[in-house]
Amino acid sequence: MTLTEKDSQYLWHPYTQHKTSQTPIAISRGEGALLWDENNKEYIDAIASWWVNPFGHSNKFIADAIYKQLTTLEHVLFGGFTHEPAIKVAEKLMEILPKNQQKIFFSDNGSTAVEVAIKVALQYFFNKGEKRTTIIAFENAFHGDTFAAMAASGISFYTQAFQGMFIDVVRIPVPVKGQEEASFDALKNVIENHNCAGFIFEPLVQGAAGMVMYEPEALAKLIEICKEHNVLTIADEVMTGFGKTGKTFAMDYVDENPDMICLSKALTGGTIPMAITTFTQEVFDAFYDDDINKALFHGHTFTANPTGCAAALASIDLLQTNEMQANIARINKSHLEFQSKIENHPKVVTARTLGVIFAVEIKSEAEESYYGSMRTKLYNFFIDKGVVLRPVGNIVYILPPYIMTDVQLQKVYKTIEEAIVMV
């Protein structure tokens, strides 16, 4: 049996209708921005394997750090114990995060980073004896697949089977260009009419919605409105963090600071699953009490796994090198050139770029659904050409590893241009 045949016998894949989906491709190795399947066909990984892999596959520097940690202390429970790798990650993050972030809490994926933030927002008011139970989120947001994260997510087919079983979430429109006032007004209206505990948002770029972008000034205004009403703000930087937007964090573009930040995906350079939620001292202090009931009773077995911490430290070291910063700037410049080249194409609705993130919306006759026919046609075309891209409906986006070469990048652009003509 081939790997693919064995796979279909045993495995259940994410976001997959196994009856109608195509068989998965078995990847046997990766290096830099490239992947090879079991038949040795080569693919360019143009979406950094779901946005986790900025420094390339099988990165030796991170692998060495992981090996060293594995043979020193692979894991120890974090209840009642601590260790240097966790402390070093905290110190490093304090250097690079917005200055008001003072405490960090470890978990192991983006959804749990969000879950922790939402639970903290709700318990913060519980601990203060204030009844605030509503969470505010954007339309078409994506914050993950655990229950509170799912409740905050606004993409309906991810969540429709569970409607009626969620915590209270009220949605406001995204302040895309021209719609800012509607978003501000909606926020004020929600705050006036509900007991709001927190506002969670993907800063500047909504990833899963199809790389929908909005301006830092609009986000600053929304945060300001929340602050006026003592509503806690949660920046979900799970996708945008660690250089994707051209700065270390998307919040680095924004004049207001959030109360909490969620991190995962590129945190460990796409090696070991790990996540972090960060907090202001003020949030932490609402749980700091002689009364044990005010503690945050939340934890995961693999909390602060030392090996994950070592991977995170090595990744942040790589991100901070001049070489990596130059790569990010190079890709951004290249994206902008490609954008101006194709945005006037008759089959293009719009194109947009922020940092290494590029998206182009292709004209379609029908309203394109997330996993609609145009999406399938595009996806298959890209795979056939040896380029890994996962369109969202009629939106094709690129989120390359920062080490992708110019030659590889040009091949990705060329393939997208061909696809636009083809569909």
Q: How far is the CB of 2 from ligand PLP (least distance, A)?
A: 28
236 is an interface residue for ligand PLP by CB under 6 A: yes
245 is an interface residue for ligand PLP by CB under 6 A: no
Check the annotation: does 390 bind a ligand: yes
Alpha-carbon distance 95 to 98, whole Å?
8
Q: Which two tokens stand for residue 162?
A: 């569970």
Beta bridge partners of 222: none
- Element of type H or E holding 122: helix 110-127
199 is an interface residue for ligand PLP by CB under 6 A: no
According to DSSP, the β-strands at 357-362 and 387-388 are: unpaired
Q: Which two tokens stand for residue 361?
A: 């919306």
Binder to ligand PLP among 238, 312, 313, 331 (CB under 6 A)?
238
CB atoms within 10 A of CB 397: 22
- Element of type H or E holding 212: strand 212-213
Task: From 160-168, 200-208, 250-258, 291-299, give the range in contact with ligand PLP by CB under 6 A.
Answer: 200-208
115 is an interface residue for ligand PLP by CB under 6 A: no
Query: Is 34 strand, coil or helix?
Result: strand
Query: Is 174 strand, coil or helix?
Result: coil
210 is an interface residue for ligand PLP by CB under 6 A: no
110 is an interface residue for ligand PLP by CB under 6 A: yes
150 is an interface residue for ligand PLP by CB under 6 A: no
The residue among 266 and 286 lying less far from ligand PLP, judged by its C-beta, is 266
143 is an interface residue for ligand PLP by CB under 6 A: yes
The residue of the chain with the least Cβ separation from ligand PLP equals 110
Q: How far is the CB of 396 from ligand PLP (least distance, A)?
A: 17
Q: How far is the CB of 337 from ligand PLP (least distance, A)?
A: 27
Q: How far is the CB of 177 from ligand PLP (least distance, A)?
A: 21
109 is an interface residue for ligand PLP by CB under 6 A: yes
Q: Which two tokens stand for residue 367?
A: 């309203």
Q: What's the one-letter identity of residue 112?
A: T
Site string for ligand PLP, 306-345 (x = CB under 6 A): ----------------------------------------
Written as one string, the DSSP assignment of 80-117 is S---HHHHHHHHHHHHHS-TTEEEEEEESSHHHHHHHH
